[in-house]
Amino acid sequence: MSLTPEAAGVVAKMREAAVSFTDLGLAEARQFYIDTLAQSGGEPVDMASVVDQDIALDGRTIGARRYRPRALSAGAAPTLVYFHGGGWVLGDLDSHDRVCRQLAERAACQVVAVDYRLAPEHCLPASSDDAIAAYGYLVQHAAAFEIDVQRMAVGGDSAGGHLSAVVALAARDAGWPLSLQVLVYPATDLRESAGQYPSKGRNAHFPPLTAELMAWFGERSVDANTDPLDWRVSPVLAETLEGTADALVVTAGADVLMDEGVLYAARLADDDVAVDHAHYPGVIHGFIEMPAWLEASNHLLDRITAALRQHLAIT
């Protein structure tokens, strides 16, 4: 796989770095992830308001952060519920703060970023259970979060794309309103046999998500109680995707997860879900978080913006 010139420059920069996630302790890796995305994400876009609110679930509380841009009118608003990436091990509301600000500003919609329990403290499907319960909570408590429940989307990148696919399935089954699912290079198949996808070998050495880091995530995100055949763990194994929300599926050509995203987009189409598959050849995993480094990031943010404006009826 040949990289775009910009992506090749970013890869060279990453390879020259003296630090790797796999060389760090868990707390250090989590902070390094936040610091790295702060560099690649550029200056934070100013918002009219940024409000942290708790989501009270059964026996636990998780955090959420609401972003409202200046172009958004007061009151109940079209809303994207966003789940961060990080291999179910890294990431939080701060790591993806810049992405959420960008999406809110460009789409003139509210973004509600939702945190979730991380592994190895809480292995899969704990994060999936949090994502499903949190989305249901937001539907039920829409007024407290200024959400227009008839104009809701869910989205996320990597592990967050996985969680968004899971939420879309759960929303269909529960009858919750959902207009769009935005799956940015999602992980959709956690079976051992998933290692046989050609992109896992072909793109194994392209940072940031190398085969080595994939193994590091795998060792921490699942345990003996994780069933890889469970649709909350491997959404591509759901009996049917029919009836889920319209989808925008994003894949990157130099990404180990490329084939999983391509397969999921195809499965959505086969099950009569309206799907827009946006493929970026020669671009690496994680590029939604790199608008300061890659023009493809800005193109992707605009592509997501267009989908949000269309499906959430934002004028």
Q: Tens digit of pLDDT for each residue in 15-27? A: 998 688 999 999 9
Handedness of CA 28, 32, 34, 35 (dihedral sign): positive
Strands 60-68, 110-114: pairing is: antiparallel
How confident is the model at residue 232, as a pLDDT?
A: 98
pLDDT mean across residues, the chain: 97
Residue 30 has pLDDT above 90, yes or no: yes
In the chain, pLDDT over 90 holds for what percent of residues?
96
How far apart, in whole angstroms, are the C-alpha atoms of residue 312 and residue 262? 25
Residue 310 has pLDDT above 90, yes or no: yes
**Beta carbons of 294 and 288 less than 8 angstroms apart:** no
SS (H, E, C) 175-228: CCCCCEEEEECCCCCCCHHHHHCHHHHHCCCCCCCCHHHHHHHHHHHCCCCCCC
Q: Tens digit of pLDDT for each residue in 39-62? A: 999 999 999 999 999 999 998 999
**Beta carbons of 65 and 93 less than 8 angstroms apart:** yes
What are the beta bridge partners of residue 276? 248
Q: Which helix (H) or strand (E) holds 57?
A: strand 49-57
How far apart, in whole angstroms, are the C-alpha atoms of residue 165 and residue 159? 10
Dihedral Cα 81, 248, 266, 288, nearest 10 deg: -90
Q: Running DSSP on this structure, what letter comes out for residue 239?
A: S
Total domain count, the chain? 1
Residue 77 phi, psi (nearest 5): -130, 155
Q: Tens digit of pLDDT for each residue in 194-224? A: 678 999 999 999 999 999 999 999 999 999 9
Question: Which residues touch 144 (CB under 8 Å, ≥6 apart)?
Answer: 53
How confident is the model at residue 19, as a pLDDT?
A: 80
CATH of the domain at 302: 3.40.50.1820
How confident is the model at residue 22, as a pLDDT?
A: 92
Angle at 302 (CA atoms; ends 300, 308), nearest 5 degrees: 105
How confident is the model at residue 289, as a pLDDT?
A: 97
Residue 313 CB neighbour total at 10 angstroms:
12
Catalytic residues: 158, 255, 285
Average pLDDT over residues 229-235: 98
Question: Which residues touch 188 (CB under 8 Å, ≥6 apart)?
Answer: 162, 165, 234, 235, 236, 260, 261, 263, 264
Q: Tens digit of pLDDT for each residue in 145-190? A: 999 999 999 999 999 999 999 999 999 999 999 999 999 999 999 9
User: 243: pLDDT confidence band, cut at 50, 70 and 90?
Assistant: very high
How far apart, in whole angstroms, are the C-alpha atoms of residue 227 and residue 222? 9
Residue 238 phi, psi (nearest 5): -55, 145
Question: Which residues touch 145 (CB under 8 Å, ≥6 apart)?
Answer: 53, 64, 66, 79, 112, 138
Tokens at residue 14, please?
């990453």
Secondary structure class of 46 (helix, strand, coil): coil
Which has more pLDDT, 291 or 59? 291
Residue-number span of the structural domain to which 79 is assigned: 5-311
Alpha-helical segments (H) within 233-315: 258-270, 295-311
Q: Tens digit of pLDDT for each residue in 127-143? A: 999 999 999 999 999 99
How far apart, in whole angstroms, are the C-alpha atoms of residue 249 and residue 283? 15
Average pLDDT over residues 256-284: 98
